[in-house]
Amino acid sequence: MRKATKILLITSLCLIAAGVLLCCASLAMGYSGGFGITGDFKYRELNDAPSMEKLELEPFTGIEISVVACDVELAVGDKYALEYEGLTAAPDFSVGSDGVLRFTTAADKENYILLLNGLSLSLGNAYGEFGTVRIYCPANAAFNGVSIDGSVGDVDIVGVSCGDLTVRADSGDINIQGLTAGTATVESAAGNVKADSLNVDGFTLDSEYGDIDIVGLNAGTVTIGSDYGDTEIRDFTVTGKADITSDYGDVKLSLRDGGEGYGLDLRTDFGDVKVNGKNYGSSSTGMYAPAGIPIRVYTAYGDIEAE
């Protein structure tokens, strides 16, 4: 290789490396909140993040939320109220003639979301942070339905009673406490799911990447599917049937009354099955009552433990 060619090649590589470093630096500086790249790819100095807005609302009978790069919190309060902060554009919200509160984050060029092989990686907004929306309702409020659809951000639900609950999060943790509902459907693409004190007729949970941790699940029917992550359910009661599957991860169940009245079907392809401390190898069927309430657990790679 001629000397001139070598020099040209080395120079090109150095320029490429410098470009990558400058790109990373610009994103980092944008995240720090001092200055950054806006949605139209121009540098501008950033002011302080938008201030918090809190509004008292008339009573509503349902909730529908659709947000991007925003945490969502439903909590008990003295009055019906809406609070939001950290959004770089005013959201759209209203209580319709059907009594449903609808809240949507406006299209905002300053929200950066990278999709890599179907996984969402958010860099936040131009202020280097997520927005937050909080909805408060009295403790005795009961909704016909609650629907939360979040692309990137955590979802926290505390003390909610409703006919049907639907929660979907592409990237972010889901936390549910003190739920009473007809049916509850939870979908998590990437994030942990935690729940405490659930009383529902039907419970469905689909998790792709993340752990599942539930304490106090009282349900008619239960369907849980996990691709990658451990699943643990403590203080578990089901009156109809339960079907729990996991591709990669351990499953641990703590049944009320030591499992009396349940028909267990526990199977793993690669792992151990234990019931009340006793090892049954790779499969265990009908340990308590073959004709009891069926609980089926299957994992391809992982241990199963029931007690």
CA distance 253 to 119: 30
Enter the pTM of the model.
Answer: 0.78
User: Would you say 202 and 184 are in contact if contact means Cβ atoms under 8 Å apart?
Assistant: yes
- SS3 category, 15: helix
Q: Classify 53-306 by CATH class.
A: mainly beta
Domain assignments of the chain as residue spans, ordered by start: 3-45, 53-306
What pLDDT, on a 0 to 100 scale, did the predictor assign at position 93? 93
Give 63's strand partners. Answer: 101, 146
CA distance 109 to 25: 20
Give phi and psi for 26, each to the nearest 5: -65, -40
CA distance 254 to 215: 9
What pLDDT, on a 0 to 100 scale, did the predictor assign at position 289? 45
Walk along the chain (307 residues) and give the pLDDT tens digit of each residue.
555 554 555 566 566 666 655 555 544 444 444 333 333 333 333 344 456 888 999 999 999 999 988 999 999 999 999 999 988 788 899 999 999 999 998 654 344 444 343 343 444 444 345 789 999 999 999 999 999 999 889 999 999 999 999 999 999 999 999 999 999 999 999 999 999 999 999 999 999 999 999 999 999 999 999 999 999 999 999 999 999 999 999 999 998 776 778 888 899 999 999 988 888 877 665 444 456 899 999 999 999 999 8
CA distance 259 to 147: 34
Give 198's strand partners. Answer: 179, 217
